[in-house]
Structure 1
Amino acid sequence: LSSPFSQSLRLVAPIGNRSTRGIHQLGGAVDPESSQKKRRTMLQYLSDHFYDVEFLRGYFLQNKMDKVHQKNRSFAHLEETHGPNNAGAFFILKQGGAVKFRDKEWIRPDKYGHFSQEFWNFSEVPVEAVDASDCAINYEGLENLHLLKELQSLSLQRCPHMDDWCLSRLYPLADSLQELSLAGCPRISERGLACLHHLQNLRRLDISNLPSVSNPGLTQILVEEMLPNCKVVGVNLAEGLKLGPEEQPQDTDRPIPA
């Protein structure tokens, strides 16, 4: 049997341990090793957090690109049941663009992306105009436009994924396309515009505000030579050409020094 004295020791010891820890805390004693450990922990946290941010950034970027590729999937399977014009029109409308069937009004989505389903009845009516301004069409998505064999007018203004490679894929539209707008496409350069030589039936081409084109004035002259029957618009030749010193305008009103 244990004595009352030993029982009292067992009761007092835990209390003493807690009080000892409390005294150290109240006294504000700082352990140098503990402080260094906290700094290492903070640095590790910041390091881990940085990589987490980079990972999330990469994840969201990849997720965004996956959505773009998903939106640009081929709708050619609809051609068998609804015809090529409806298949191509459906692709543009799903992208948020607008289409015009011959002798019909423009069909445009509303702000919620909803659009009239009436166009399914136009399977025998060709699409003559497409407005894909600001749409996320990429190289793969242009395959859906090849279904529109009688397309005359195409606007690709401000399409963020439209690049030089995309312009090389417009040649199947050469027989019908007469108007093309590439205004405001940030990734189109002179090399891509050179691919338009296939489109000899073009009558109007808008190449305004192309930031990747280094010399807009000279580029317009070259495109006009490449497409002699096409009116190329969008460039102010007076501002687009870089004049040499001998070509600078002279001030004829300035008095001649004596």
Structure 2
Amino acid sequence: MIIPRIVHPTFKPHPASYRYFWGWLNAVFNKVDYERIKDVGPDRAASEWLLRCGAHVRYKGFDKWQQDYNGLPTGPLGKYKIQAIHATESCIMYRGFDYLDGLEHTEEIKLCKCIYIEDTCLERLSKINNLQESLRRLEIISCGNVTDKGIIALNTLRNLDYLFLSDLPGIQKRQTTIEMLQKAIPSLHVELDLD
């Protein structure tokens, strides 16, 4: 005989339990499915990952942002190419960045209030060959785990025209960091709002 466990109606789990659960779930959302990438192509698989994690995407030739995972467009594979990614308060993290490997048309990425974005994410982003060619605009706002090291790693994004940095307390040597970036990418315009 199983005796049901009775929980008092005012019982509240410890906040650390919530953090652990959400951290685990977010890690699951970021797990890369390489078979899915092969089956549907990099843009569709990356769209699914980004929307599952709370980000939005805009496709080349379209003005509307895709926000609804269940409303992802269908049609011939390869028709919808990701041109822009807007990740505000999304749970994207390093382990999911392999989804970005095959993107060839992504010109703009905005990372805002993403608690899992850290230096290793920016280092990974800067090593993606296709993004080194296509990425033109990057905004990093209120991502508390980003430091000078992560920003300096962006120096391989050779076609980056515009970089906006705001509310990044981990950046301690802003002048040196920006000078290093602009030396590596002379055409780069950097806008700072770090105070």
Within 2, Cα distance between the matches of 1:74 and 1:115?
Answer: 19
Residue 53 of structure 2 is matched in structure 1 by 95
What corresponds to 2:146 in structure 1? Answer: 188
1:123 corresponds to 2:77: yes
C-alpha contact 1:97 1:108 (8 A) present in aligned 2: no
Q: Deviations over 1:9-64 (max 9, x none)?
A: xxxxxxxxxxxxxxxxxxxxxxxxxxxxxxxxxxxxxxxxxxxx9x9454433222
| 1:82–1:120 Cα contact (<8 Å) kept | no
Task: State how far apart, in whole Å, the 2-side matches of 1:93 and 1:122 are.
Answer: 20
Instruction: Please say if 1:104 is aligned against 2:62.
Output: yes
CA distance, structure 1, for counterparts of residue 62 and residue 70 of structure 2: 15
- Taking the aligned partners of 1:72 and 1:211, their CA distance within structure 2 comes to 26
Contact 1:153 1:177 in 2 (8 A): yes
Please tell me whether residue 219 in structure 1 is matched to residue 173 in structure 2.
Answer: no
8 Å Cα contact 1:158/1:184 also seen in 2: yes
1:72 counterpart residue number: 30
| Counterpart AA for 1:207 | L
- Does the 8 A contact of 1:107 with 1:116 survive in 2? no
In structure 2, what is the Cα distance between the partners aligned to 1:107 and 1:140? 24
How many Å separate the matches in 1 of 2:40 and 2:176? 45
Instruction: State the partner residue of 1:167.
Output: 122
Secondary structure of residue in 2 paired with 1:182: strand
How far 1:122 sits from its partner (Å)?
5.5
In the alignment, is the contact (CA less than 8 A) between 1:93 and 1:115 conserved in 2?
Answer: no
Give secondary structure in 1 for the equivalent of 2:37: helix
Secondary structure in 1 matching 2:134? coil
More strand by proportion, 1 or 2?
A: 2
Larger radius of gyration: 1
Question: 1:217 offset after TM fit, Å?
Answer: 3.9
Rounded to whole Å, the distance in 1 between the matches of 2:65 and 2:38 is 22
SS at match of 1:165: helix
The answer as to 2:133 corresponding to 1:178 is: no
Task: Report the alpha carbon displacement of residue 213 of structure 1 after superposing the two structures with TM.
Answer: 0.9
Note if 1:207 corresponds to 2:165: yes
CA contact (8 A) 2:48 2:69 kept: no
TM-score normalized by structure 1? 0.63
SS at match of 1:64: helix
- TM-score, with length taken from structure 2: 0.81
Equivalent residue for 2:42? 84
Unaligned runs of 5+ in 1: 1-52, 241-258
Match of 2:88 in 1: 133
Question: 1 or 2, which has the higher helix percentage?
Answer: 1
Q: Do the aligned partners of residues 103 and 122 (structure 1) sit closer, same or farther apart at CA in structure 2, a change above 3 Å counting?
A: farther
Runs of 4+ in 1 over 4 A off after TM superposition: 55-58
| Contact 2:148 2:177 survives alignment (8 Å) | yes
